[in-house]
């Protein structure tokens, strides 16, 4: 198939380009990129793309699938359809399924599920590539190491439990064992004793709303301990779910000292702070919790400067019944694959706090680099792994407009601006 995208805004973090171009795509490859393309065959499909944005396909570092174990929340098929609808061409699922992804047989089973999934957007839109995180510990219970080498041979993208690992001796052993395997390893630093029964970031809003607080030190002390182990052993590490201003400072200092670390925050931690919890909407119960206003300022600055390398979606589906509880009793998490790009664009790019390149880099090339992968530039002869986005198209977030099986989001029922038109992969 041959397609000519005319006058599309090309945002390419690899080439540092944000300009209007014509882009010719032939059989999955970029044939030409120029200010004007007129030398085309008669069977070329011509699309007027004025006002549309074309960038590298989005890459999600980590999210949750319901399947296996909780298919009423999300199946692999619905997860991948939601990802495609959100502009993602690569997604990575966490291993805390039921059973946990702690053996090669389950890795193979899930990859087979991906091959049976269909993309919802367009006859030519592909199913996103599915990457699978292998569990560090058996049943993600934090006690006994899995057969890490066997999981690496089975093709996992890297290793994480997606849960806090509090046994530092185990963390040290994992770092030593993984060093020769050359796979990414990700940790979520959180001291569960300091977290206790808290559900909201400690501060004046937690007092005002009468919710049990979580001190910032629950995160920062765990990050500090992890950084000491990385300094001692030297194994590269990815730090997940960064949510406090002090964490950004610790990571900046560690990077300045040359430690081999990368870091990510989640999209909702960039958009909302503790004031939003006033509604007691259970989809605002997150773990780690939403930060105080100064945390959000620091996280946004961290993403812009590269201290925080990537924005993760951390899509966490739950059924209606699971979320219809008191705020503190509801399970933590919210969906996001179909919502993140429109909302981040609307509230960060259109307000000119972020440039389009800064946002697109944090959602595409940078998360790929955290996984040890590359994203091709939007140049002739490169594979067409692309997302076409309409920043002005409005749509309503409701059950019939979402491909995910769950609706646990504070934006349910609201009009959003920005919609993915098509992906290529």
Please state, in angstroms and rounded to a whole number, the distance separating the CA atoms of residues 380 and 358: 23
Give the DSSP H/E element, type plus range, for residue 22: strand 17-26
Could you list the beta-strand ranges (E) of 36-157.
45-48, 53-56, 58-59, 88-93, 129-134
Please state, in angstroms and rounded to a whole number, the distance separating the CA atoms of residues 289 and 407: 19
| Cβ pair 230, 279 in contact under 8 A | no
Q: What single string gives the DSSP state of each residue in 24-69? A: EEETTEEEEEES------TTPEEEE-TT-EEEEPEE-S-B---TTT
Parallel, antiparallel, or unpaired for β 53-56 and 58-59? unpaired
Q: Which residues, 6 or more positions from 398, have their beta carbon under 8 angstroms from its beta carbon? A: 407, 412, 413
Closest CA to 268 of 300, 234, 233: 300
Which of the 8 DSSP states describes residue 178?
Answer: H
Q: Which one of the listed residues 191, 205, 295, 314 is annotated catalytic?
A: 314
Please state, in angstroms and rounded to a whole number, the distance separating the CA atoms of residues 289 and 269: 8
Rg (CA), the chain: 21
Residue 287 annotated among the catalytic residues of the structure: no
Please state, in angstroms and rounded to a whole number, the distance separating the CA atoms of residues 114 and 122: 18
Closest CA to 408 of 311, 289, 285: 285
Please state, in angstroms and rounded to a whole number, the distance separating the CA atoms of residues 67 and 311: 24
The catalytic residue positions are 314
């Amino acid at each position: 198939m041959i397609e000519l995208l005319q006058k599309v805004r090309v945002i390419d973090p690899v080439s540092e380009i944000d300009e209007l171009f014509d882009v010719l795509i032939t059989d999955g490859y970029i044939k030409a990129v120029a200010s004007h393309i007129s030398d085309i065959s008669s069977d070329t499909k011509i699309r007027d793309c004025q006002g549309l944005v074309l960038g590298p396909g989005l890459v999600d570092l980590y999210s949750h699938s319901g399947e296996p174990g909780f298919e009423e929340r999300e199946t692999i098929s619905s997860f991948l359809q939601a990802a495609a609808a959100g502009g993602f061409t690569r997604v990575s699922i966490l291993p805390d399924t039921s059973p946990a992804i702690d053996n090669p047989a389950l890795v193979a089973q899930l990859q087979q599920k991906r091959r049976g999934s269909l993309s919802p957007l367009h006859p030519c839109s592909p199913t996103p590539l599915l990457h699978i995180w292998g569990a560090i510990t058996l049943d993600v219970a934090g006690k006994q190491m899995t057969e890490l080498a066997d999981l690496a041979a089975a093709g996992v993208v890297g290793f994480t439990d997606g849960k806090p690992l509090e046994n530092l001796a185990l963390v040290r052993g994992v770092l030593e064992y993984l060093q020769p395997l050359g796979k990414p390893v990700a940790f979520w630093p959180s001291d569960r004793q300091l977290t206790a029964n808290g559900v909201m970031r400690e501060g004046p809003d937690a007092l005002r709303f009468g919710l049990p607080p979580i001190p910032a030190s629950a995160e920062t002390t765990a990050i500090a301990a992890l950084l000491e182990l990385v300094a001692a052993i030297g194994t590269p590490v990815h730090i997940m779910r960064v949510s406090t201003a002090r964490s950004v400072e610790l990571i900046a200092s560690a990077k300045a000292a040359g430690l081999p670390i990368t870091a990510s925050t989640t999209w909702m931690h960039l958009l909302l702070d503790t004031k939003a919890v006033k509604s007691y909407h259970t989809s605002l119960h997150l773990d780690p919790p939403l930060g105080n206003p100064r945390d959000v300022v620091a996280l946004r600055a961290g993403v812009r400067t590269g201290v925080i390398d990537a924005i993760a979606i951390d899509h966490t589906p739950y059924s209606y019944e699971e979320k219809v509880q008191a705020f503190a009793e509801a399970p933590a998490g919210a969906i996001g694959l179909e919502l993140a790009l429109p909302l981040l664009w609307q509230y960060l790019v259109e307000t000119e706090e972020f440039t389009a390149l800064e946002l697109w880099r944090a959602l595409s090339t940078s998360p790929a680099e955290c996984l040890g992968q590359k994203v091709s530039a939007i140049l002739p002869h490169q594979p067409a792994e692309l997302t076409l986005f309409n920043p002005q198209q409005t749509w309503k977030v409701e059950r019939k407009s979402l491909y995910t099986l769950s609706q646990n989001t504070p934006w349910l029922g609201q009009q959003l601006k920005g919609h993915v038109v098509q992906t290529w992969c």
